């Protein structure tokens, strides 16, 4: 027996530790696994009984680069700290760890708990200085060996990638040609046309989400081939899938190696997990242009990437166009602090706000302003700067319309051909089976029926696409297009042009807009428009005070006339609203607005305002007021308002700010409300009775 092996070691357990780096090594390198399990025989030869020998094979298939993910190593360390282990057995020290930090931590534990380390070459005592030095040197060599192997393998892989011959998993739309060591187009024409349609629609819609909605709206399937798939699957288009294709330089005919890399993250001073991160384009290890056929050019790929970056909402990007009337969404910068200004909608009105707090100020935000004046000023500058196209726009529109219609019909036609093939294949399989073998025949018959149903649905979809997307432009249409091309304002103000399309038009010429509040020489907003070409246009937009002029001189004269006739503020507001007159901000008049104008014009309140006459219960046309309805049914005015909110009593006239409400009572409504009023009186009487009894 070795002099290092003592009785105290034999009295404790002997742990046989097994590890191989990958599952593939476990399946293929059977001899190494057998040698590690055979260490139990050596433990028996050294004096341990069968009950005292424990095999730890939890780490088969785990790398020794770190101990964080290895459950077997963690359990071994716990048993050592509890003093249950007398010796550790392994083929060599590289089985325990290929990281110096993990290896020396294990040596420390074995040193203080008097645990021996045994491999095929000998027995080592970590408490002995010479053995500890030798074990430390073995651990360093194990870690260095791992790096040497990694450098050799990565060097060979990189050298082959520099020639463009290293096999990379082909994305959807490509296949790897083993003879030419190159990528080639997928032979399926339907797959190719779907990829090309994606890039064409992105040039039009400028958003992966919008392209996804296009595929969904037209019920078009998209091809995908994930890891492990041998055949292409047709699924519903997803924005993440389309976005990944748009970011992939392979579709530009470029061979790229080193676009992603694994990085280890540390949390709390320990290795937690490995994450795959995107490497900047300047740090790609291999980038070979014109390596294989491409669906787009490299210039198109770079334009797509810039568009995708600008679609994200960050401080330095404009973001994708979204729904809403705020035309300058994503384009505004604060001229006071340089932050990006956001859009706020309140009460049907648009406001632009810089929410960054001002320095040395208790204000929660920098500043904000109404958006309609700014939008109007920028649109005027845009329409003035926009020049009509120099080409025959009518021909371009007709060509684009026909191309989009043909692309859609082609997608359905290719889908029909694929479904027809699947139906014929299902038929041949059903006819080839022995009819007596009913267990197989029933399954094949059901598949044939499913393929026929899919065929009928596809034929119906193709017919719908032919009818609904075929556009024929008449001479009148060509004349109309030429008229619109000469005057962009007609296109801008057309009812068919929505806010999202107006935002796209603005972004064709405008790169950004900076707003700066000014107090002198007059209260205004300085609007600086940065054009795509680099020029800057500056305009000033008046910024009225919160309590300021609400009306034009013409409206002031009308208010003077109505007040002079003795009308009250609500009656003046009602008259102005009936005449179609609005405030300077485009709102309806209310009695508070009339009060502010009277205060500015120094007009005294008429007697009608101070002592308004009684409201009649019923008008000549048969409409009831709120008080009239309450008296008619013998209920309170609060009950009438509850009826209105519940929808039982419809309002016929009024209801807006500054206008009195009037209600119509027909036989149905009166009978229903009469029942409600009786129930209300009964409940009120019961409540009063119960209150009297309680008292």
Enumerate residues 6+ apart whose C-beta is below 8 A from 290: 253, 254
- Kindly report the number of other CB atoms within 10 A of residue 292's CB atom: 20
Dihedral sign for Cα 303, 308, 311, 314, please: negative
- Kindly report the number of other CB atoms within 10 A of residue 560's CB atom: 14
Query: Do residues 103 and 97 touch, judged by C-beta distance below 8 A?
Result: yes
How far from 393 is each of 70, 400, 485, 509, CA to CA, in Å? 67, 10, 7, 19
| DSSP state for residue 587 in the 8-state scheme | P
Enumerate residues 6+ apart whose C-beta is below 8 A from 232: 172, 186, 188, 191, 223, 224, 225
Give the C-alpha separation, 110 to 112, whole Å.
Answer: 6
The position carrying tokens 């075929």 is: 470
**Nearest alpha-carbon partner for 138 in 110, 105, 97, 108:** 97
Give the C-alpha separation, 287 to 279, whole Å.
Answer: 13
**Nearest alpha-carbon partner for 378 in 586, 544, 497, 539:** 539
Give the C-alpha separation, 410 to 407, whole Å.
Answer: 5
Enumerate residues 6+ apart whose C-beta is below 8 A from 27: none
Give the largest CA-CA distance in the chain: 124
Query: Do residues 336 and 516 touch, judged by C-beta distance below 8 A?
Result: yes
21 counts as catalytic: yes
- Residue 409 CB-half CA count within 13 A: 15
Give the C-alpha separation, 36 to 17, whole Å.
Answer: 8
Q: Which residue numbers are catalytic?
A: 21
């Amino acid at each position: 027996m070795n002099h290092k092996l003592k009785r105290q070691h034999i009295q404790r357990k002997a742990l046989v530790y097994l590890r191989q780096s990958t599952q593939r090594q476990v399946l293929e390198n059977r001899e190494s696994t057998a040698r590690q399990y055979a260490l139990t025989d050596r433990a028996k030869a050294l004096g341990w009984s069968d009950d005292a020998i424990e095999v730890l094979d939890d780490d088969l298939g785990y790398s020794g680069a770190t101990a964080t993910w290895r459950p077997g190593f963690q359990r071994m360390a716990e048993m050592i700290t509890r003093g249950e282990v007398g010796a550790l057995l392994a083929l060599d020290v590289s089985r325990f760890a290929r990281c110096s930090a993990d290896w020396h931590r294990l040596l420390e534990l074995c040193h203080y708990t008097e645990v021996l380390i045994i491999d095929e070459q000998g027995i080592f005592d970590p408490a002995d200085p010479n053995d500890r030095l030798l074990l430390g040197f073995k651990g360093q060599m194990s870690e260095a060996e791992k790096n040497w192997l990694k450098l050799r393998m990565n060097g060979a892989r990189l050298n082959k990638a520099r020639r463009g011959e290293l096999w990379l998993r082909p994305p959807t739309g490509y296949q790897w040609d083993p003879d030419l060591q190159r990528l080639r187009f997928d032979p399926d024409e339907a797959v190719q046309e779907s990829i090309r349609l994606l890039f064409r629609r992105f040039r039009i819609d400028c958003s992966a989400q919008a392209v996804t909605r296009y595929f969904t709206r037209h019920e078009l399937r998209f091809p995908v081939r994930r890891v492990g798939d041998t055949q292409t699957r047709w699924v519903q288009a997803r924005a993440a899938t389309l976005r990944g294709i748009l970011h992939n330089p392979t579709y530009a005919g470029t061979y790229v190696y080193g676009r992603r890399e694994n990085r280890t993250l540390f949390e709390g001073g320990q290795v937690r997990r490995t994450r795959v991160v995107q490497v900047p384009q300047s740090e790609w290890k291999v980038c070979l242009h014109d390596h294989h056929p491409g669906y787009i050019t490299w210039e198109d790929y770079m334009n797509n990437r810039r568009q995708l970056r600008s679609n994200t909402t960050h401080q330095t990007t404009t973001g994708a166009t979204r729904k809403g009337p705020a035309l300058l969404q994503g384009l505004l910068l604060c001229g006071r602090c340089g932050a990006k200004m956001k859009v706020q909608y309140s009460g049907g009105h648009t406001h632009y706000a810089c929410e960054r707090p001002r320095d040395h100020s208790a204000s929660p935000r920098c500043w904000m302003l109404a958006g309609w004046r700014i939008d109007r000023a920028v649109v005027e500058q845009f329409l003035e700067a926009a020049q009509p196209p120099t080409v025959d726009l009518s021909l371009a529109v007709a060509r684009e319309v026909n191309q989009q219609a043909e692309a859609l019909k082609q997608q359905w036609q290719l889908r029909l051909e694929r479904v027809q093939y699947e139906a014929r294949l299902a038929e041949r399989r059903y006819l080839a089976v022995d009819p007596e073998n009913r267990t197989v025949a029933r399954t094949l018959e059901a598949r044939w029926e499913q393929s026929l149903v899919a065929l009928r649905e596809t034929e119906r979809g193709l017919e719908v696409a032919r009818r609904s997307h075929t556009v024929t432009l008449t001479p009148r249409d060509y004349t109309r297009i030429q008229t619109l091309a000469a005057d962009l304002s007609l296109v801008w103000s057309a009812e068919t042009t929505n806010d999202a399309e107006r935002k796209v038009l603005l972004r064709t010429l405008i790169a950004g807009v900076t707003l700066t509040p000014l107090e002198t020489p007059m209260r205004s907003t300085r609007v600086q428009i940065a054009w795509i070409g680099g020029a800057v246009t500056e305009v000033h937009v008046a910024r009225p005070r919160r309590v300021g002029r609400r009306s034009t001189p013409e409206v002031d004269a009308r208010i003077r006339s109505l007040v002079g006739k003795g009308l009250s503020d609500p009656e003046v507001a009602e008259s102005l609203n009936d005449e179609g007159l609005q405030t300077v901000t485009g709102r309806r008049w209310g009695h508070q607005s009339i009060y502010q104008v009277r205060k500015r014009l120094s007009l005294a309140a008429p007697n009608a305002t101070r002592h308004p006459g009684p409201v009649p219960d019923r008008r000549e046309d048969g409409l009831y007021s709120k008080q009239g309805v309450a008296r008619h049914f013998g209920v309170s005015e609060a009950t009438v308002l509850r009826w209105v909110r519940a929808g039982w009593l419809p309002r016929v006239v009024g209801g807006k700010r500054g206008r009195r409400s009037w209600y119509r009572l027909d036989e149905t409504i009166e009978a229903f409300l009469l029942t409600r009023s009786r129930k209300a009186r009964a409940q009120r009487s019961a409540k009063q009775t119960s209150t009297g009894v309680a008292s």
